[in-house]
Amino acid sequence: MKKIPVLAVALAGLLLAGVASPVRTGPAALASDAAGTGAALPEHALIGYLHASFANGSGYVRMADVPDAWDIIDLAFGEPTTPTSGDIRFTRCPVSECPNVESDEEFTAAIRAKQAQGKKVLISIGGQNGQVQLTTAAARDAFVRSVSEIIDRYGLDGLDIDFEGHSLYLDAGDTDFRNPTTPVIVNLISALKSLKDRYGDDFVLTMAPETFFVQVGHQFYGGAGAGDNRTGAYLPVIHAMRDDLTVLHVQDYNSGPVMGLDGQYHTMGGADFHIAMTDMVKAGFTVAGTGHTFPGLRPDQIGFGLPAAVSAGNGHTPPAQVHQALNCLVKGQECGSYTLRGGTSPDLRGLMTWSINWDHYYDWEFMNSHEPFLNALP
């Protein structure tokens, strides 16, 4: 996630663009109670990222000022001290950059108030600048320790994985997503399982990969035929955590054309892209060059991500097109020429956006357009 795309990799007609925002790191200072609440998510949820550790052109939004429509609030971002340390730090935006930033006490109290309303507040790790490569067992253990400290300090409900850039990749010969061997993959899976075990059933785990790391694995996996060993690299992580994964909301933006299950390339910015990309996650797909099929996820584990506004990222989709995509995916209506391979998904979890701040900047167009529509879905 980011303000404007800065990382672009041209690859067989596919564009990988970073979408994270500038992040500051440093020690957080406030201890708090253990994480989480047991309230269930609504059937159809609105999910957004809150710029908590940095300032950009969209402005700072206090936690207490986040409207009640947002069901999952991802704090952007926690970042490692170095790419391979595994030591994640989260610091609030400094007053010099965010003059209206609240105190830690006010911030934590606002989190508690959101949780009392049934909202989930997560720490999001990574983003464009937060390259996280857990190359060693020591880095894995540092990740578990430091992420736990952040969750405990602010009493958060869980964790969002927004690994981008070069955080995840596949070593040569690592061709079975069901049994990965690449250390950065194996150690991340182990770390996530440890965190899940630590916090139990109420722990909320979400992921926000780019299409390059998920759906592109249908055509290229680990660089097979394409030369980039990052293609499809989220698939082993998603598969290993599928029983513990709350929501996968792929970033349907800052993407090049991606081949869908119909053998056609789909381009971001319209209903067709969201339909085709989400259908792949629901139906499952063959993984290129491996002889294996990635099984689809449950509909309640699936959302899709959008920029809140034209300034937030490439691939902004007009609200009417988003609603068309939802009508197709949920009700089988308005699908155009596309035939759903995974069938309809009445339990589709909802929409994610980058970001709450950009939506605020544009007078809450995303929230006001989509929250009532989600609530009206069957």
Catalytic residues: 164
How far is residue 222's CA from residue 170's CA, in Å, rounded to a whole number? 5
DSSP state of 180: -
Beta strands, E only, the chain? 8-11, 14-17, 45-51, 72-80, 88-89, 120-127, 158-163, 204-207, 247-251, 258-259, 265-266, 284-287, 292-295, 302-307, 350-354
One DSSP character per residue, 18-48 reads ---------------PPP---PPPPSSEEEE
Q: Report helix angle 319-326 to 365-376, nearest 10.
A: 20
Q: Are 288 and 224 in contact (CB under 8 A)?
A: yes
What ranges in 284-364 are assigned the alpha helix state H? 319-326, 356-361
136: tokens are: 């060693």
Residue with tokens 């381009």: 267
What is the signed CA dihedral for 120, 22, 146, 166, rounded to 10 degrees? 110
Q: What is the CA radius of gyration of the chain?
A: 19
| Bridge partners for 265 per DSSP | 259
